[in-house]
Amino acid sequence: MRHKMRHNWKRKLTGVVVLLLLGAIVAVGQTPERWLHVRVEKTGDNAETVRVNVPLALAEKILPAVNIDRIRNGRITIEGTKAEGVDLRALFEAVKTTQDGEFVTVESKDENVRVAKAGGYLLVKVRDERTRKGETRKEEVDVKIPMTVVEAALSGGRDELDLLAAIKALSAHGDSELVTVRGHNETVRVWIDTKNTQ
């Protein structure tokens, strides 16, 4: 009798240990919740601060339910826009298959633009410097989008961007700084991390 009870306890204990291990595996395997943050700060006469925090999982769930104007089933049509007729996918494939490097460089008196691919990211850099009424105004724009996100966005039909796929790809990506704008009296920052605050 005592032997049978001890045997039962052993079985129960083994079951609990197995459950705990499975729980630990699931917990380790789960990726942390990612949040998209936007911060706009304006100084001067029109001083303004905008802060937005959106969980990417929420955006993933909402997008398929939004059917307004150009947005349908998580996709946005680009028909009738400047990008219409341009084979974005072919363009992306060409960029994807080539080695890291600069693809576009525009240098002018006031503005320098650089489009490059490096370390799995599509990079856009704009440096603008203009002098007006003796005052020099500088603006710097940095865009850093993971190639997997661009690929996901272009995975839909022709003349449409798959926003849902892009957000999913973004969720799978680690913390990253997506857009930074530093202007004369304005800064804009768009980034992703696991915090729900800024």
Partner 1 sequence: MFHSRGRRLNRGMSTVAACALALTGSAALAGGAAVYHHGLIRVHVDEKRPGGDRVNILVPGAIVPAVLAFVPDSKLEKVEKKIRVMMPVLRIVVDELERYPDTVFVEVKDKREYVRVAVEGGSLTVTVDSPREDVRVTVPLATVRSVARRIESVGEVQ
Indicate whether 30 belongs to the interface with partner 1 (CB under 8 A): no
Indicate whether 68 belongs to the interface with partner 1 (CB under 8 A): yes
Task: Write down the least CB distance from residue 50 to partner 1, Å.
Answer: 5
The residue count of the chain comes to 198
How far apart CA 198 and CA 193 sit, in angstroms, is 10
Segment interacting with partner 1 (CB under 8 A) among 2-10, 54-62, 91-99, 146-154? 54-62
Indicate whether 53 belongs to the interface with partner 1 (CB under 8 A): yes
C-alpha atoms less than 13 angstroms from C-alpha of 195 in its C-beta half-sphere: 7
Segment interacting with partner 1 (CB under 8 A) among 1-9, 46-54, 70-78, 148-156? 46-54
Q: Which of 70, 68, 97, 72 is nearest to 83 (CA)?
A: 70
CB of 36 or CB of 122, closer to partner 1: 36
C-alpha atoms less than 13 angstroms from C-alpha of 17 in its C-beta half-sphere: 6
How far apart CA 103 and CA 123 sit, in angstroms, is 10
Indicate whether 57 belongs to the interface with partner 1 (CB under 8 A): yes
Binder among 16, 19, 25, 62 for partner 1 (CB under 8 A): 62
